[in-house]
């Protein structure tokens, strides 16, 4: 896949995901541009065995965290990169958010990626540069600690 096709297909998706976190269109635009500059520079290193969106999304997560680190700000639960989609039932979202507060950030991130965004555990392992068995262990511990979903 050529860079122009990748940019055309994924830029808006990444931009709106970042915008949901930083809540400022200029910052979201800057971060998204950084993401795609990184994609352009590293496209030759992309391993075709994983999903390209997963790879780009991982870059976006890292660039967004870098943005907050530079500002010495922490992301809190309502501003995480892995927001619950807007089309979720509000009551379910409140219950889920309360359960998510009971687990660590790492566990929360994995649960949201799997159960809200629909990623497979293997994709999450690739995204997070973790062993699949580690991701499974974290996920199932989180579900247990939350009392099930």
What is the tens place of the pLDDT at every residue in 11-52? Answer: 998 988 888 777 788 998 999 999 999 999 999 888 777 788
96 shares its domain with 145: yes
* pLDDT higher than threshold 90 for residue 78: no
User: Are 4 and 43 members of one domain?
Assistant: yes
Give which of 54, 145, 133 is closest to 98, Cα–Cα: 145
Q: Quick one: pLDDT at residue 33?
A: 96
**Domain assignment of residue 58, given as a range:** 1-75
Question: Does the pLDDT of residue 102 top 70, yes or no?
Answer: yes
Q: How much is the pLDDT for 80?
A: 45
Q: What value does the mean pLDDT take over residues 88-95? A: 51
**What SS3 class is residue 49?**
coil
CA–CA gap between residue 28 and residue 20 (Å, rounded): 9
Name which residue leads in pLDDT, 129 or 116. 129
Query: Do the domain assignments include residue 83?
Result: no
CATH code, domain carrying 6 = 1.10.1740.10
Q: How many CB atoms lie within 10 A of CB 135?
A: 23
Model confidence band, residue 133 (pLDDT cutoffs 50, 70, 90): very high
Residue 2, Cβ neighbours under 10 Å: how many?
8
Tally the domains of the chain. 2
pLDDT at residue 131, rounded to an integer: 93
The rounded distance, in Å, linking the Cα atoms of 99 and 87 is: 19
Q: CB-side exposure of 78: number of CA atoms within 13 Å?
A: 2
- Residue 68 and residue 21: Cα distance in Å, rounded? 10
Confidence at residue 11, expressed as pLDDT on a 0 to 100 scale? 93
């Amino acid at each position: 896949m050529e860079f122009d096709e990748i940019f055309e297909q994924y830029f808006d998706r990444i931009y709106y995901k970042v915008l949901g976190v930083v809540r400022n269109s200029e910052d979201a635009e800057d971060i998204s541009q950084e993401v795609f500059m990184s994609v352009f520079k590293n496209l030759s290193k992309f391993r075709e065995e994983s999903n390209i969106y997963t790879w780009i999304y991982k870059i976006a997560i890292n660039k967004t965290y870098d943005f907050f680190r530079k500002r010495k700000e922490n992301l809190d639960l309502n501003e995480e990169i892995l927001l619950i989609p807007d089309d979720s039932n509000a009551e379910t979202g409140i219950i889920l958010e309360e359960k998510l507060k009971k687990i660590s950030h790492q566990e929360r991130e994995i649960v949201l990626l799997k159960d809200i965004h629909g990623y497979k555990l293997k994709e999450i392992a690739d995204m997070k540069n973790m062993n699949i068995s580690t991701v499974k262990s974290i996920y199932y511990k989180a579900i247990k600690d939350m009392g099930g979903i």
